Amino acid sequence: MASSIFYDLQSLPEEALSYTDLKFYDMVRDLLGCSHARLLQFQHINSVPCFLLTDDVCDVLKMEIDDTELDAIRDEICYKLKSGGYVVKGGIQTSFRCFKEFLLKKTEEKMKQLKYKRKDTTTMTSPNTLTQTQLTTTTILSQATTVSSPSSMTSEQHKQQLIELTKEWCNDSRDSFELKKLMLVEGNDYFLNVLDTGNVLEANVVCKCGIKTVLCKNVDKFTMSNYYRHLRNTKCSLLKNLKKKEEEEDLQQQQAATRAAGMSHQQPVIQIITTTPVAVQSPSSISTPSASSVTTRAKRSNDSQTNTPAKRTKK
């Protein structure tokens, strides 16, 4: 196999399969290179299970995603076509394929070791000699195995559980993100996919910003931790837009409240002016001797002259 050519199974410590985050990226950087580690880190593929469940980690390089960090990675590990598209360099894809085979081989080897170890530690104990503690422990383990069986949950049940987990996370994260109304809705803010491929369930989340995140399994249930880590990334535009929208709504409410308060404190001002009425005579009301009154006074004057006796003239 290619893994036996490029990698030595004994070169990694036993706990390498449980590496996450920085330890996992350091391992990829040591075995493959810095560009490989950056590509995985950009997609938040932060553990061996996440890497093994991802069909092709190079798919994101072919998507039309506008991101400066991804553009820098493309320039390093891709050929740019004249049409504007990108083709991943052959050595990059081959090294990832060899690394996946190596990890699968390492996982298979560890499973065999655990199987042999369990056989070595198994003792033949008569049922009559079992203590009460052993019986209780056996019962608990049996119940746990029954409950945690992967076949006990359908893909739809897994999906509903992840949706509920996201709602709880939103309620717990409102203060840290300073978003009073933080509530992500599946089908609008993110798109959750749980696929059954040959009795093996795989899950991923496509964020509204366009980034696809592969979900890891914790025992028999999926966890949204990888997606939460993506949301905390300052380059995710989803929470930025939600925060901007909430700030605009708060500003509008404040402005409306300010206007309402201003109108409630505003009282009408009525100025009452009291003055002594002054009679103003209009031109028509000014007494002007009429023709009849003039005639009457003239007549009276003539009458008085007629009735007055004439003075006698002295001789």
Angle between helices 155-177 and 225-232 (to 10 degrees): 30
Three-state SS at 194: strand
Residue 145 sits at the vertex; the CA angle it makes with 141 and 151, to the nearest 5 degrees, is 175
The first and second tokens of residue 124, run together, are 């033949």
Domain boundaries, the chain: 2-118, 155-248
pLDDT at 198 over 70: no
pLDDT at 194 over 80: yes
Q: CA torsion 159→147→109→34, rounded to 10°?
A: 30
How sure is the predictor about 15, in pLDDT bands with cuts at 50, 70 and 90? Answer: confident
Residues above pLDDT 70, as percent of the chain: 67
pLDDT in tens, 273-295: 555 555 555 555 545 555 555 45
Q: Tell me how far apart the alpha carbons of residues 59 and 206 are, in angstroms, rounded to a whole number.
A: 13
What's the rounded mean pLDDT across residues 238-257? 86
Give the pairing type, strands 221-223 and 86-88: unpaired
Sequence letter at residue 175:
D
Length of the chain: 315
Q: Residue 6: which H helix or E strand, with range?
A: helix 2-6
pLDDT at 138 over 50: no
pLDDT at 6 over 60: no
| Furthest CA-CA distance within the chain | 194
pLDDT at 130 over 70: no
Which string of b and e fits 225-250 if b means at least 16 CB within 10 Å? bbbbebbeeeebbbbeebeeeeeeee
Q: What is the pLDDT of residue 150?
A: 42
From 35-44, 60-69, 161-170, 215-224, the region with the lowest mean pLDDT? 215-224
pLDDT in tens, 221-237: 888 888 888 888 767 88
- Give the predicted TM-score (pTM) of the model: 0.41
